[in-house]
Amino acid sequence: MQAVIFYFSGTGNTWWCSERMVEHLKRHGIESQMISIEQTDPQECSRSICAADLVGIGYPIYGSDLPDSVKHFIDDILPTAPPQKPRLFLYCTQLMFSGDGAYVYADAIRNRGWEIYSAVHLLMPNNISMSIMPLLFSNDPVHIERRLARTDMRIRHMIDRMIAGRPLKQGHSRLSTLLALMQRAPFRTYFPVLRDDISVDDELCTRCGRCVEICPVGNLELTAEGVRASGQCILCLRCYNFCPVSAVRYRGRTHDLRRGIPYRGPVPRFRPELIAAHRHHE
């Protein structure tokens, strides 16, 4: 058997879960690969799926909704289900609760001929580090490792059940959808405004260009005057969390380093360049 996992990850949490899924699938003798949706296209996606028996799609949840880049992947890159219909599993990463996070885009997936075989919600460390937000975050390795250990057990449980023909179906009930709407409705209402909340402090910025390179939607541009945003942010937090000098501002405020450096992924070896689109400049 073979498996392919397509994923989007803002600051590394979904990337880490995808890695763990690959390892647990290999434990069952299933050759597996993981592909960042930023680094694929319709042709490569179709080729990978045609050779697979299992297909996974993973993403973080923002306000009980999908990031726009994941919606684009499902709508424009994911092919219609091939005749052999590989089993499709979904997983979403979240801080605490998303309601129907794994099923929020289920109708669009089914419209492409796919059936959802398994779905799971995975709790991960908080990556919301903006100083304006009251949520606590931590870069303490001990704290993060404890959370990761629990989530790894959850991933192993999901894979074991799926292989045994007893898939999980988390987030598909009407109650889950109703509870999710309490977050999703206001989030979708205010999302267009939130897309323009990222800016860069020209005095702190060193013009290294990292934020421009790692942005998944090309929202940032390095100009003669400094880095400028175009108002197309999807709130993945990469630029804010991974700026080497914390020059990125959210709603006009730079990061308060007295709260600690922003969350920079679940493990030290994570770098957003590993999963970002390969941008070429003339």
pLDDT tens digit sequence for 29-81: 999 999 999 999 999 999 999 999 999 999 999 999 999 999 999 999 999 99
CATH number of 2-179: 3.40.50.360
Q: What is the pLDDT of residues 82-133, one digit of tens each?
A: 998 899 999 999 998 899 999 999 999 999 999 999 999 999 999 998 988 8
Q: How far apart are CA 129 and CA 131, in angstroms?
A: 6
Where do the structural domains in the chain lie, given as residue ranges?
2-179, 192-274
Please tell me the class of the 192-274 domain.
alpha beta
Inter-CA distances, 191 with 11, 82, 128, 188, 233, Å: 19, 34, 16, 5, 10
What is residue 279's predicted lDDT score, i.e. its pLDDT? Answer: 56
The amino acid at 20: R
| H or E element in which residue 238 lies | helix 238-242
What is residue 271's predicted lDDT score, i.e. its pLDDT? Answer: 97
Decide if 125 contacts 14 (C-beta within 8 A). no
Q: How far apart are CA 168 and CA 160, in angstroms?
A: 10
